[in-house]
Amino acid sequence: MGKKLCLFIAGDSTAANCPPHEAPMMGWGQVAAECFTDKVKVVNAAKGGRSSNSFIEEGLLDGIWDSISPGDYLFIQFGHNDQKDFGTKPWTTYPQYLSQYIDGARERGALPVLLTSVQRRTFGEDGTIQNSLGDYPASMRELADKKDVPLIDMWAKTKRLYESYGPDRSTELFTWFAPGENNNYPEGIQDNTHFCETGARKVAALVAEGIQELNLPLKAYIKEAIRNG
């Protein structure tokens, strides 16, 4: 049996594997493998609290370079923590750091794919999601065009997803619990950024949808049940 095709994910907590004490909080990368046949191995290197620059500075990208092979994929999704003081500027340092992921993957014969950040659950009075991610999604789109990199617009896809649920029901996608409802959150929690299991699976399915829309060769390994929606 030959080596499996590997899909590496570099990102933040919205994609990361969450520890048991945070369950049922879950990043979309935690369930991404469920979208593919057993011919694909998902290596979820996403880590909470990381920006495009801190992921590199902490050596996390080096860990991917140690394992990635020609023909593998690198999915790149940053933005939430790039907004923070330790992060990047959307039109200057952000694309500069993202380019290190893109160029490094290509140098190793792997295929980079950019994913704009997932939206936060930030509904306006008109019942639509208000952008809370500044210029980062637009900057990533511009970089994708400039460097001819496939892009899955998760910012747009999650906006449509949340709005289809509406301001109230959309809490079902996130880590939202009343006091006493969940043992890991005895005081309750209202988290508008991090998904629960339902949300993570919905978002992972949107990633799979994006793979098909881009006509990436990876689409051949998406499970039929996911392909058919």
Query: What are 152-166's pLDDT values in tens digits?
Result: 999 999 999 999 999
Nearest to 8 by CA among 79, 101, 93, 137: 101
- Per-residue model confidence (pLDDT) at position 228: 85
Is the predicted pLDDT of residue 229 greater than 80, yes or no?
A: no
196 contact partners, CB below 8 Å, separation of at least 6? 24, 25, 26, 172, 173, 174, 175, 176
24-57, pLDDT tens digit by residue? Answer: 999 999 999 999 999 999 999 999 999 999 999 9
Catalytic residue among 13, 51, 52, 117: 13
Which pTM was predicted? 0.98
Catalytic residue among 22, 187, 197, 209: 187
Catalytic residue among 22, 80, 194, 209: 194
CATH number at residue 168: 3.40.50.1110
Q: Is 21 a catalytic residue?
A: no
Q: Is 13 a catalytic residue?
A: yes
| β 111-115/151-152 pair status | parallel
Instruction: Provide the domain limits for residue 206.
Output: 5-227
Domains contained in the chain, number: 1
Angle between helix 136-147 and 93-107 (nearest 10)? 40
Q: Is 187 a catalytic residue?
A: yes
Residue 21 is given by DSSP the state G
- Per-residue model confidence (pLDDT) at position 212: 98
Report the alpha-carbon angle 41-75-14, nearest 5: 95
CA distances 131 to 23, 32, 108, 166, 170, Å, are: 27, 25, 35, 16, 16
